[in-house]
Amino acid sequence: SKILSVVGARPQFIKAFPVSAALREQHEEVLVHTGQHYDESMSGVFFDELDIPKPDYNLGVGSGPHALQTAEMMQKLDAVMEDEDPDIVLVYGDTNSTLAGALVASKRRPLVAHVEAGLRSYNWEMPEEVNRVLTDHCSDMLFAPSESAALTLESEGVTDGVYVTGDVQYDAILKSRATAREHSTVLEDLGLRDGEYVLATVHRANNTDDRERLENIVSGLSSAGKPVVFPIHPRTEKALKDADLWTRVVEDEHLLVVEPVGYLDFVRLLDGAERVATDSGGVQKEAFYLDKRCVTLRDETEWVETVDAGWNTLVGADPLAMERALQSTDSLPEKPSLYGDGTAATRIVQAIAEFEDE
């Protein structure tokens, strides 16, 4: 079949890395980059260092308010789908690029396939929640990372075309851990030692766009009792500057602020971290895959299994809860296997074949 895959934001390049490789063994793939992320450190670096094919199209949409950004993606994707006439449109995760691809395709009627289906935070104020619910409900094939994600879909009446495949980000990290250890020099470059620092990321809109939450997060991170390496998302840099917190963060002796890093450096930083503090969806799982405790700077998560397993603690933006969780020495429970076995990409290709045979 001819599959048109839509990517646009950092986590989608990483998800496409194992999936594109598996798809291309059996299908023709057209890769479309919406241009939602465009900085070299948010986009180019992933195509350079990972084995992801160069996009056939870059729509150059860039940043903007939700409706304008999504609408521009939709117009441009419609033209590409008109020219390419794909059999399947594949979308990843929960960004505006995901929703734009799914909506355009569901009107034009190629099949819509959603990687990372069935996740819910049940917080309708998150733009991602809107994107994932709507995308799931207009998808023909839904690739769920866990049984519980499939059950969530069932509870919403979505049962046809649901396949539990495991998480493609687990595939990605298994493919990269050894390479990262061998080739990344990020620890030496930053003067960090294995097991002696916390790795932190922050970019969720409700954390960056609320001055009080942002300030509390900065205070909480600073109280980890260890150096905190903090690769900073451009949204967060901008928010810290707008809130007059930038100088404080850069000058804080406990925080090591760096530009966003490439995937191999990020995997190396994860692998060497004593623990992780994040509001990212992907990073919560990656911490778990690499046996790190995660302190999640949110009030709820869609990756609930990691919390239930005792490996992830939700602390919101409460500095005292952050300090406690960042310094906790409680022993960790045994680690269950939660999101498949690292062969999600192959399972997705098999599921597509099964669906097409029916």
Determine if 169 is a binding residue for ligand UD1 (CB under 6 A): no
Q: Which of 2, 28, 48, 63 binds ligand UD1 (CB under 6 A)?
A: 63
Annotated catalytic sites, by residue?
203
What percent of the residues of the chain are helix, what percent strand, and what percent coil, each to the nearest 5? 50, 15, 35
Q: Which of 4, 9, 180, 273 binds ligand UD1 (CB under 6 A)?
A: 9
Question: How far is Cα 165 from Cα 92, in angstroms, rounded to an integer?
Answer: 14
How many residues sit close enough to ligand UDP to count as binding (CB under 6 A)?
17
Question: By CB under 6 A, which span of 50-58, 106-114, 279-287, 316-324 interacts with ligand UDP?
Answer: 279-287
The full DSSP string for 282-348 is: HHHHHHHHTT-EEEE-SS--S-HHHHHTTSEEE-TT-HHHHHHHHH--PPPPPPPP-S-SS-HHHHH
Q: Which of 357, 356, 350 is nearest to 22 (CA)?
A: 350
Question: How far is Cα 263 from Cα 282, in angstroms, rounded to an integer?
Answer: 12
Question: How far is Cα 24 from Cα 271, in angstroms, rounded to an integer?
Answer: 30
Bridge partner residues of 3 (DSSP) = 29, 88
Determine if 234 is a binding residue for ligand UD1 (CB under 6 A): yes
- Nearest-approach distance from CB 273 to ligand UDP, in angstroms: 12
Question: By CB under 6 A, which span of 13-21, 44-52, 185-193, 232-240 interacts with ligand UD1?
Answer: 232-240
What are the angstrom distances between the C-alpha of 74 and each of 106, 111, 310? 11, 16, 41
Q: Which of 112, 126, 202, 283 binds ligand UDP (CB under 6 A)?
A: 283
CB 259 within 8 A of CB 142: no
CB 243 within 8 A of CB 263: no
Identity of the residue, 46 or 163, whose beta carbon is nearer to ligand UD1 in the bound complex: 46
- Nearest-approach distance from CB 172 to ligand UDP, in angstroms: 7
Question: By CB under 6 A, which span of 13-21, 31-39, 73-81, 133-141 interacts with ligand UD1?
Answer: 31-39
Q: Which of 1, 24, 27, 38 binds ligand UD1 (CB under 6 A)?
A: 38
DSSP-derived letter for residue 232 is: P
In the complex, which residues of this chain contact ligand UD1 (CB under 6 A)? 9-11, 36-39, 42, 63, 94-96, 127-128, 203, 234-235, 238
In the complex, which residues of this chain contact ligand UDP (CB under 6 A)? 10-11, 14, 169, 201, 203, 231, 260-263, 266, 280-283, 286
